[in-house]
């Protein structure tokens, strides 16, 4: 076997030796595989270790050109949430510019996954998050997501932008939703409008096979199985509000300047954008298949 796609979820640490117990991602390479694709984000278990040079995290259509077949043997396809989020953020950065994005936050309202419990059960000794042992069939459960960290791997500009990512699990089998909130620095007298934001996604969707823009009033079951749709922007729900923030220059790096006692008025627009994604077949699995084809073709 020359190319392995590891979808077990059991082996995500790219630094673990191939002969580690009870197994490791690099074990595929030591067993003879030339390359291995991981259908999850890399997770380094030992603090202080760097990401190995032969690894890369890619999202098709966003940064798959970062994959170097002569260098990379372990390839992460990120996660379904990072995939959707990248298609919500990349069009904004290309149109508005990363330097004009002051901060961002997101919440993914995420369908249940196989790691969750059908029924409540007793937590193990020393468990830090008791909610992981609660029934997903009967609860809305707050949890964590690594989407913010992974997003910086596929869109490096996001490393310089304050970004918070949260996750809420709900009792549906598939079909998830990202609610993205961004704060944009405007030019004086030129506030960012809802139609402008929607136009960015509408135009990008015409060029990208992985982004959809919708003016329909969707519910989660409507987007299940939509082929290759990394994100489906719900244009009817995009909202913007513009206001001024007042910056005290005495509390900035400009404190030594003559104008340090000045108060600077900055126009800022807050935009709320909704993006659907089928976290199983429609979005992530289809794109994982495309990545597998890309890697396989590079091995011929």
Give dist(CA 150, CA 69) in Å, integer.
21
H/E stretch holding 37: strand 35-38
Specify the pairing of strand 211-214 against strand 231-234: parallel
Tokens encoding 202? 């509408």
Q: Position of tokens 């015409």?
A: 206
Residue 233 neighbours by CB distance under 10 Å: 29
Closest by CA position to 95, among listed 194, 203, 14:
203
Task: Give the length of the chain.
Answer: 300
Which is the catalytic residue, given 62, 77, 80, 232?
80
80 catalytic, yes or no? yes
> How far is Cα 196 from Cα 169, in angstroms, rounded to an integer?
31
Q: How far apart are CA 214 and CA 23, in angstroms?
A: 44
Q: Tell which phi-psi region holds residue 48, choosing left (phi > 0), alpha (psi between -120 and 50) or beta.
A: left
Sign of the alpha-carbon dihedral angle for 287, 289, 292, 297: negative
Structure tokens at 106: 């997101």
| Distance, CA of 217 to CA of 23 (rounded, Å) | 46
- Residues labelled as active-site residues: 80
């Amino acid at each position: 076997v020359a190319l392995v796609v590891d979808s077990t979820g059991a082996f995500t640490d790219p630094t673990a030796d191939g002969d580690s117990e009870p197994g490791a991602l690099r074990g595929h390479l030591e067993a003879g595989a030339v390359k291995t694709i991981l259908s999850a984000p890399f997770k380094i278990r030992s603090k202080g270790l760097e990401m190995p040079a032969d690894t890369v995290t890619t999202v098709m259509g966003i940064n798959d050109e970062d994959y170097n077949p002569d260098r990379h043997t372990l390839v992460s396809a990120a996660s379904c949430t990072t995939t959707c989020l990248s298609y919500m953020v990349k069009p904004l950065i290309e149109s508005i510019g990363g330097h004009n994005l002051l901060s961002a936050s997101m919440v993914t309202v995420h369908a249940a996954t196989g790691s969750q419990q059908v029924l409540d059960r007793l937590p193990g000794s020393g468990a830090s998050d008791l909610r992981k042992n609660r029934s997903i069939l009967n609860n809305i459960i707050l949890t964590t997501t690594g989407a913010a960290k992974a997003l910086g791997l596929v869109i490096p500009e996001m490393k310089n932008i304050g970004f918070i990512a949260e996750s809420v699990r709900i009792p549906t089998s598939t079909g998830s939703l990202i609610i993205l909130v961004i704060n944009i620095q405007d030019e004086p007298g030129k506030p960012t409008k809802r139609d402008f934001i929607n136009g960015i996604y509408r135009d990008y969707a015409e060029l990208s096979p992985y982004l959809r823009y919708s003016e329909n009033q969707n519910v989660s079951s409507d987007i299940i199985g939509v082929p290759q749709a990394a994100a489906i922007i719900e244009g009817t729900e995009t909202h913007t509000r513009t206001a001024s923030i007042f910056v005290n220059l005495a509390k900035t790096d400009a404190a030594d300047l003559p104008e340090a006692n000045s108060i600077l008025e900055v126009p800022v627009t807050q935009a709320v954008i909704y993006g659907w994604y089928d976290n199983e077949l429609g979005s992530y699995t289809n794109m994982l298949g495309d990545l597998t084809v890309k890697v396989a073709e590079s091995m011929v």
